[in-house]
Structure 1
Amino acid sequence: MKFVDEAFIDIAAGDGGNGCVSFRHEKYKEFGGPDGGDGGRGGHVFAVADPALNTLVDYRYSRRHEAKRGQHGMGSDMFGAAGDDITLNMPVGTIITDAETGEVLFELLEAGQKITIAKGGDGGFGNLRFKSAINRAPRQKTPGWPGERRNLKLELKVLADVGLLGMPNAGKSTFIAAVSNARPKIADYPFTTLHPNLGVVRVGPEQSFVIADIPGLIEGASEGAGLGHLFLRHLQRTRLLLHVVDMAPFDEGVDPVAQAKAIVEELRKYDEGLHSKPRWLVLNKLDMVPVEERAALVKDFVKRFKWKGPVFEISALTREGCEPLIKTIYQHVRAQQLAELAPDPKDIDPRFADADDSGLDLSNDPRFAPRDAD
């Protein structure tokens, strides 16, 4: 399936049905009074986050989505039926913005999340609504209200805990295939990855995280060179970036340090927020370096790159060093998840700062004093 992470659509909720002017006509009831019903509301347009989808390709070729209008009111006190709603299934991680103003309207962040992106118009009033003691034969009615119409831009940002950065052919696809259930295309030429790949890394029972691989970046990517700039947005929601460096390039004139610096500079130009994310250095393809030369090569790289953060030495092909890396990643991701769930200290009442979960300070209660070990 072709990967599409951006699409434009036009949506229209249904108009409300018109109210009805009608009078009751029954035998032996000369003045039956008004009995015109209201019109039905127009259909709504909903969006649902579908975990089975991973691309917006369905909306690339189907731009117009319109709900049914409400049925008109009728006589005999019959109200019009509501118009049929329509539901648009979108991948988890879709951002819905107004195509004209650029305002972000909605975000689908959880599987099964359902939002109303266009409300149907209310139905008009029939003359039954206007009956009163002084207006016993009203001939007023109102038309149905129009439904909302919008031009929307859909943008997909994949939801992953960890994102991979690196030059083409740095071994990112080999790494994600080695540690996760993803099966990306792997070949001995650059730009084999043409769209983001997501993989789930299983660390242990009920212990996992999601990793994302995007097409490799090259110098000038922030200005549109190569393919990677089209997918950098997918790294903006990650908690951690792994900068994968090829330590054994095929071309002898290629300097891994210069390549690594170019990637960092492209990140900075693209988005300062992305540049400031936690980033670890992963030195790959060390299986192609003689064992006695590895330590000196790594030390020289770190010194010239002026790197002070975490450094991991691996071989994605032989999986050497991958196991300690993914365990450390999981610990980091889990710590961030717990930190996000922790309450803000500003929201805690100072009266109960030292209390237990029940809100009562039991520190001086002898019943809860610590016991000596037997």
Structure 2
Amino acid sequence: MLAFVSNPSYDPNPFISGISFKDYDALREDLDQPLYNRALQGTYPPGSTIKPFEGLGGIHYGLRDWNSTIYDPGYFSLPGDSHRFRDWKRGGHGTVDLKKSIQMSVDTYYYKLAYEMGIQRLHDWMVRFGFGDKTGIDLPNEKSGIMPSPKWKKDTYDKDWLPGETISVSIGQGYFLATPLQIANATAMTASKGKHITPHLLKSSDGAAEVKIIDKPDGKIDYNGQPSDWLRMHDAMESVVENGTGRGIYTPRYRIAGKTGTAQVKSIAQGKRYDKSAIDKRHWDHAWFNGFAPVEDPQIALAVLVENGGGGSTTAAPIGRALFDYWMLQRKTDPVLPPSADELKVIKRQKAFEKALKDALREKEAKALAEQEAAEAQAAAATSE
């Protein structure tokens, strides 16, 4: 792991000397949950980030090849059912092959593929990329997310699986939940052409005791297609950035493969359109981006999630581009280094000042609330008299 970030964060130093009840309560009661490690424990609908992995599953099961096409009118209906599962693009994308389905993130392609595949086979394929299980990173309290199956639903809800639920899962919605770490790791496995990877934190050790460094893949994904399919998926993901949904982060300086994703938080009624202005900010869509670089010799894979950030292409992808830029262009000539002793003093003074301001504001709000409650109680007593 090169970077493992969860925002908003918090200062862990007060926990060493003994954090006050007041400060700990403030962290616990913060609506933005700074104590929550989103990268490790946050489980979210993965949205369209999963389409490259799922698309390879279509080849694995012999349901698709790179030349197979479907026609997308902008929706899909299950046989004998009038309900329309809508594509994100009204009017649809027309004729779509696997590469275009990745490039333009065509929902209808995956609705049809998952319907043909069935939820059990979809489940059995996606778990090979680590979904529904812990990655095995060297950290406690990792969440496993949910890669649903008929058995999972029966065990969890004592209900049978419904055909429409497969369609929702096919675009990373419904019961499907994943951590940012799982998405990053599945992307790394795709970049490594199907090698199975367990993420680790330790890069090197120079202590007296010998420590085994694990820095290589530990297996290979069982796949029935051709080895070249992984490279063709790299090409499809590169087309996302060159002229697809992620074209806003294209750069001619190095080659990026990526996938944008937008995960719905609040369900939208049949026939209605998503209207961000009419929804509370905490119910806005989650923004995703996953990818790797450089395409010809992958060195870094990543996943970016912005909670309630809106569109993946406009919010999460630019953050991914900034991370890629650092690794590819800045790291060797102008690396980010830990602060010096003098810089640390400035940082500590700034943090102390910010804490004092926060404490003063908190005390002012508490005093105002107490005065308001006292006034209301006095008014209530006068009324009763």
Q: TM-score, normalised by structure 1?
A: 0.20
Higher helix share: 2
Q: TM-score, normalised by structure 2?
A: 0.19
